[in-house]
Chain A
C-alpha cells in the first residue's frame, strides 16, 4: 500500500512539474514562434497573393478582436489605395488543422487569390492544395459572401483527384474566412483608412 501511494505521488509530482515547465516555455516562446511562422510560412503565401503590391503586406498588418480571438489582417496597397486585405482561417483538414489565407478586394467583396499555409495533408495528394499553385487559382474571382463548394457538392471548384476531403476542407475554411470577413467588414474598412495616405 505504501509503495502504491509513493508511485502515485511521484508520478503526479513529476507530471505537475513537467506541465509547469512546458507552460512556462510555451509562454516564453509564443511571440517568437508567431514571428517565425509569419516569416517562413505565412510570408511567402502573403507575398504570392499580393504580388505587385507597393507596400510590404507582412509589415502592414492590423488586428481586430473577434469574440475571444484576435485576428490578424494583412494590408495590400495597389495604385496608392489600401483596398485589399488578407485574412487567415483554419479548419479541420484530412490530417490535423489546415490554414487557408484568402486575399479579398474590399471594394467588390471578391477573392483575389488564396493560399494554403499550415497543413499536414498527404504528400502527393492533399498536399497539392499547397504545392500545385494552379489548383488554388480556382478561388480567384469568387464572391466571399457565397459558400464555396467543390463540384461534387454542387459548387464550382474541381476537387484535387484523390484528395476530395482536403479539397472540401479548403473550401469550407475559405468559406469560413469569408464569413469572418463579412462579419468584421465595417471594422476592416475603418482600419484600412489609416493605411491609405
Chain B
C-alpha cells in the first residue's frame, strides 16, 4: 500500500484529527484552552515537537533497537520539548507564564509518543514529517477552536479583544475545569454527527 505525502498530511486535519478523532492527549486539551491564545500557543509548541521528533525517530528507526525504543523516543521528545520551553521563555515570556507547567508536560503527551510509536518508527522521513505537520496543525486547530468557544462564552473576548461590551455577564463556568469537559463533549458530539454516515 503506497502512502502519499498529501494523504498523510491531510488525515491529521480531519479523519484522524487528534483530540476529536483519536481522543488522545486530552490533558493539555482540557487544561490550557481557557483562551484561544493559550490553545494556539500550546498547539504550535506541540506541532514543533511532533515534527522534529517524528523526523528524528524516522531517520533513526533502523538504528534504534526495538527493546529500548520507548526510552529513545522519550529522550528525543524531551530534548525538543526543552528546546521549545527555552525558546518560549526567551521570546514569548507572557505565553510561557500562562502555559507554565503544561509545556514540560508535552513530553508525556500521548499524541507525540503515539505518532512516534505508531507512525514514525515504521515510515520514512518525508511521510513522518508530513504526518507530524498534519497532526500538529490538527491539534492546533482543535485547541484553538475549543479555546475560542470557551473564551467567547466564558470571558466574552475573542483572542483578547472584547466582543460584547461592558454589559456582558461572563459565564465563568466555561473557563473552569468542568466547562472544559462539557465543551469538549459537545464538540465530540458534533464531530460524530458529521462523521457517522
Q: What residues make up the interface of A, taking CB atoms closer than 8 Å to B? A: 3, 6-7, 10-11, 14-15, 18, 21-22, 25-26, 29, 32-33, 36-37, 39-40
Contacts and interface: CB of A to CB of B under 8 A. Distances in A.
Contact of B93 (A6, A7, A15, A39): A39
Contact of A32 (B64, B83, B91): B91
A122 to B, nearest CB: 14
Contact of B86 (A10, A14, A26, A40): A26
B157 to A, nearest CB: 21
B71 interface: yes
B89 A29 contact: yes
B93 A22 contact: no
A33 B90 contact: yes
Nearest to B93: A36
Task: Please tell me the size bucket of the interface on B.
Answer: 20 to 34
13 contacts: A3-B67, A10-B64, A14-B76, A18-B79, A21-B79, A25-B83, A29-B87, A32-B90, A33-B89, A33-B90, A36-B89, A37-B93, A40-B93
A151 to B, nearest CB: 33
Given A10-B68, A29-B90, 16 more contacts: A3-B65, A3-B67, A10-B64, A14-B76, A18-B76, A21-B79, A22-B83, A25-B82, A25-B86, A32-B90, A33-B89, A33-B93, A36-B89, A40-B93, A40-B94, A40-B97
Contacts of A14: 60, 72, 75-76
A18 B76 CA distance: 7
B193 interface: no
B118 interface: no
Given A7-B67, A10-B64, A25-B83, A18 B89 contact: no
Contacts of B78: 18
Given A29-B86, A33-B89, A11 B79 contact: no
Contacts, number: 53
A36 B78 CA distance: 24
B2 interface: no
Contacts of A25: 82-83, 86-87
Contacts of B65: 3, 6-7, 10
B161 interface: no
B80 to A, nearest CB: 9
B72 A10 contact: yes
Nearest to B83: A25
Contacts of B1: none
Nearest to A3: B65
A21 B81 CA distance: 12
A52 B76 CA distance: 50
A88 B83 CA distance: 27
Contacts of B93: 33, 36-37, 39-40
Given A10-B63, A10-B65, A18-B78, A33 B72 contact: no
A11 B86 CA distance: 24
Contacts of B94: 40
Contacts of A22: 79, 82-83
